[in-house]
Amino acid sequence: MTLALVLGFLAAAATTAVATALLIPVLRRAQVVDIPVNRSLHVAPTPRGGGLAVVLGAVLVMGVAPVIAWHRAGLPDLANRFDVAMLGFVTILAFAIVGLVEDLFSLTNISRLCLQLLLGLFLGLAAAAQVGARPWAAVLVAVCTAGLVNATNFMDGANGLAAGHAAVAGLWFVVVSLAHPVPGLGFVMITVAGAAAGFLPFNAPRARLFLGDSGSYALGGAWAFAATVCLARGVPALLAVAPLLVLVADTGFTLCMRIRTGQRWYEPHRLHVYQRLVTFGWPHWAVALLVAGTAALCSALAWAGLQPGLRPLAWPLVALVLVVYLRLPLLVGAGDPFRTLRPVR
């Protein structure tokens, strides 16, 4: 099992690296380029759409599993052994397609949200059917999925941030799948981690290519899938969401503060914690390490919380880590932009 996971990681990383190197000149010729605007953290036009290579690396390696299963166990046993893996495959691919359409054609806010909710509803219904749960929970899954996909997209604004976090989060869910067996989850998430690692050298410390919405949507879909199937299979809640909390905390805090100060919360901005730190002068790689490190620390505290004596402290300690992360711009002297913002009418 361990050897299979290592090989899956390496195969996904290698496939993504090769695909990324081939994709960069294609995107440049096609003029699929992110032009800097006043809210951007980059200053040079950079190709976007690298998520295609990440998704390709992940789903190609994921797709080998059903072929092997069919060859070794026959078609009748395929659905029983790989239902979770196939759900992950379909979810990630579907969100990647929505993100690609957004990259190419710029969907309206309403149509984008409707598609995210529909895919989230599918994920919730499928997960409920697998464990025999009541289907009404799918509505909650749909809402949380849309929120998580958008949070991942909003946090994809600094070089190496989304890919670095993805490598940490993907490996964490592999660990969870081994400690609390969820058939198929480890194989899906090891390919996501490997694909993110294969893309990372092209995105940090200097970005030659951005993920684009195709990549961030696919990663958001992967996190929604992993958290949903973990919770459906009885994995403790903190273990199921630990590395994702930094994304949710940064996005949720920023959204709440913008609403509180009367801003148009739906408009682009540079007020996320990571954006404020980059604007203050931190290099992109340092901010990416901060987010990945926060995700890793939250995961380590969640794991420590499995010990009976530490269980009551796990959630408070994770909350403390997130509060420190949210206040870090103030602690390093970057200032509080929300104090100076005037309500927009």
* CB contact at 8 A, 84 and 229: yes
pLDDT of residue 44: 81
Q: Stretch 174-181: mean pLDDT, rounded?
A: 91
Structure tokens at 192: 């996501």
pLDDT range class, residue 67, cuts 50, 70, 90? low
Instruction: Flag whether pLDDT at 322 surpasses 90.
Output: yes
SS3 272: coil
In b/e form, how buried is each residue of 132-147, taking b as 16+ CB within 10 angstroms? Answer: eeeeebbeebbebbbb
Residues 236, 253: Cα–Cα separation, whole Å: 24
Please give the annotated binding residues for Mg(2+), written as ranges.
153, 213
Percent of the chain surpassing pLDDT 70: 93
Please give the annotated binding residues, written as ranges.
153, 213
Structure tokens at 130: 């697998």
Residues 137, 340: Cα–Cα separation, whole Å: 41
Q: Stretch 32-48: mean pLDDT, rounded?
A: 79
User: Which among 212, 28, 14, 4 is positioned nearest to 106, based on CA atoms?
Assistant: 212
The domains of the chain are located at 2-340
pLDDT of residue 242: 98
